[in-house]
Every structure is written in structure tokens, then in C-alpha cells.
Amino acid sequence: MAPPPPPLLEVRDLKVSFNTEDGVVRAVDGVSFTLGQGEVLGIVGESGSGKSVTMMSVLRLINDPNAVFEGEVLYKGRNVMDLPEDRMREVRGGEIAMIFQDPMTSLNPVYRVADQIAEAILTHRAIGKAAARTRAVDLLRQVGISQPERRADDFPHQFSGGMRQRAMIAMALANDPDILIADEPTTALDVTIQAQILDLIARLKDEFASAVILITHDLGVVAGIADRIGVMYAGRLVEFGGKRDLFYDPQHPYTWGLLGSIPRLDRPKQDRLHSIAGMPPSLIDPPAGCRFRPRCPHAFDRCETEPALEVRGGGARHLDRCWLDPESKRAVRDRTIRGESAAA
């Protein structure tokens, strides 16, 4: 019997640290997850939680000489970390593509939009310039730029923010990548434009059959589009599971805090918002044990040793890092999300 095919992408115990004057910053500290064909994975966390560093490491985009990497990133079964740079260049943009938060700074201001997209095509394919341009115009049409023949020769400053993000997406899709990594793709955009871009990503996922990793700080953004969601805190995944698990049966108090902190339009207005007390910890000297312990209203003795990311109170593929037993979780969870059980 043949072994089951490996997942499209598997990250195993990834650790990324940066040596700085102040000490070693453990930006990513043991992150593992898998991504299947055509799947949309949402990675949620606040600034500094390590979500961007994780994904940039997958593409080996961090070339800081002070960065130290450990662990494995298996793309179709091969460890990306060991690939020679020229092979990596084929993967990057060809098989795994990335779009960034700020469409203003990710496009080169002195080149025409179509030329930048064509360059991405020519880097990976042996086709003529004319053919590359035709494909660039085609892609602009597919991502919803009106009059693409005419707009193709515009410079980035002639595009609005939403159009620039569309152009970035067109560039990322230029080589039919297996994986599209989108790092806060809508954070710089207005809600109406955000809705357009999220629709576009959902539609393109089907048309291009790409798997998508969507990094965001906004649980609302992943509620619509993701299949599975990982929540990161202080360099670690603290909860990982299917979308419904995460929203309807969240297991980790940090996830509850995030859910409770959002002023929600779908619920009656609260008197007070739940807020997570304190600030995220320093990654140079993180607290011993559970990293959320100093801010957690439910912390107890056992939290001084760190729980592993494993199936606990949730469903079969629902992992979390929290010692609370499922019974007491259920008892305090809704109150925490509603903001009634405030932290000290």
C-alpha cells in the first residue's frame, strides 16, 4: 500500500530567533502546522506574535545575518530550508507566492504596472515579452481592474490602494502558484475595498486552485474565508483548529480575549468591552510556563509549566495549549468573552 501523499506544506517545530544587542529575540518558538491542497488557513495574532516571521521564513525571505532558523519547512515533502538559493528562487513566486500588507511600498514606483507583472512571469517562464504582457493584461482583468489594456501602462501612483492590492494579487498569481501567502492583505484598505479584495481571494482560490494562507489580526476577516485557523501568541501557536471549532468552541483564554475585544456589530452594544489586561510579553525574556499566564484571568499553579499544543477539550483535530479542564472552561468561557470575568 502506498503511503498517503505528504501535505502540500508542513511546518515542523519552526524556530526563528534574532540576536540583538538586548539579547536573543525568540520571534517564532516552535510552530508546527500543515496546509492541504486548496485549503485556506487563517493565522491570527497581534503584532509581534510571530505570524509574519513564520510565513516569511517559509519563503526564506529573512536574510538578516543575525537570524537563526531551526526546524523544517516541508513543501511537497522537501525541506525548503535546505534548498540551494537558485532552486529557492524558482519556488518563490513560482510555486509559493506572497502578497504584503502595504500595496504602496510593494510595487516599484518607477515601473509600469504591467511591466512589473510581466517581469514576474518572465522570471519563471521561457516566453516572449509580448506574450508576458498579454498575460499581465489578462491577469489584471481577472483581478477586476477595469479597462486593463489601458491601465496596464499606468504607474503605481496612478492606481488607488485597492487597485494596487489587486495588481499585487495579479502578480502573485502570475505563475499559478500552489500556495498564496497573504500577509494582512486588507489591513491598509477601507472596509468596502476590503470586502472586494476578500471576495477576489475567495474566487481566485477556486479558479487557480491555490491553497491560501491568510495572515491577519482581524478574526472577522477569517470568519468568512478560512477553513482552518491558527491563533498565535508570543511566538507560539496557542490554538489550532477548524473555523467552526475556533469560533463556536474556542479553547484558549487568549482566543476568548480576542473574540471579546472586538466591538461587534452582530450583537447588542456592550457597556464595556472585554479587554485583555497588560501587554504581550517580551520575546527576549518570555514568562516561564504558559506565555499567556501573566495576562490570563484563569491562570492557576499548573500554568507555570507550559502545556503542549495538543487535542484537549476540543474536537478531534482541535489543538490548544491550556491546562484548564474542559468542564471549567465551559463554565468561564462565555463570561470571559462577554467581558464579565475581567482580568485582575
Partner 1 sequence: MSAFGEPLVEVEDLVTHFPIREGLLGRQVAAVHAVDGVTFSVREGETLGLVGESGCGKSTLGRTIVRLLEPTSGDVRFQGRSIAHLRARELRPLRREMQMVFQDPYASLNPRKRIGSIIASPMKIHGAADARERRRRVQDLLDVVGLSPEHYNRYPHEFSGGQRQRIGVARALALRPKLVVADEPVSALDVSIQSQMLNLLEDLQEEFHLTYIFIAHDLGVVRHVSDRIAVIYLGKLVELSPAAELYERPIMPYTEALLSAVPIPDPDLSDQRERIVLQGDVPSPIDPPPGCRFHPRCRYRTDVCAAVEPPLVDYGGGHLAACHHPLGVDDETLARVRRAAPLTDAASRASP
Smallest gap from residue 273 Cβ to partner 1 (A) = 4
Contact positions vs partner 1 (CB under 8 A):
46-47, 146, 160-163, 190-196, 198-199, 217-221, 223-224, 243-244, 247-248, 257-266, 269-270, 272-277, 279
CA separation (Å) from 137 to 17, 61, 130, 201, 305?
41, 28, 11, 18, 56
Smallest gap from residue 196 Cβ to partner 1 (A) = 6
Q: How far apart are CA 94 and CA 52, in angstroms?
A: 20
Query: Which residue's CB is nearer to partner 1, number 92 or number 295?
Result: 295
Query: Which residue's CB is nearer to partner 1, number 177 or number 286?
Result: 286
For 59-85, give the DSSP string.
Answer: TT----TTEEEEEEEEETTEEGGGS-H
Smallest gap from residue 36 Cβ to partner 1 (A) = 19
Query: Which residue's CB is nearer to partner 1, number 5 or number 224?
Result: 224
Backbone angle region of 203, left / alpha / beta, with phi > 0 → left and psi within -120 to 50 → alpha = alpha
Residue 3 burial (10 A CB sphere; 0-12, 13-18, 19+): exposed
Query: Which residue's CB is nearer to partner 1, number 93 or number 260?
Result: 260
Smallest gap from residue 63 Cβ to partner 1 (A) = 26
Smallest gap from residue 80 Cβ to partner 1 (A) = 30
Query: Which residue's CB is nearer to partner 1, number 83 or number 193?
Result: 193
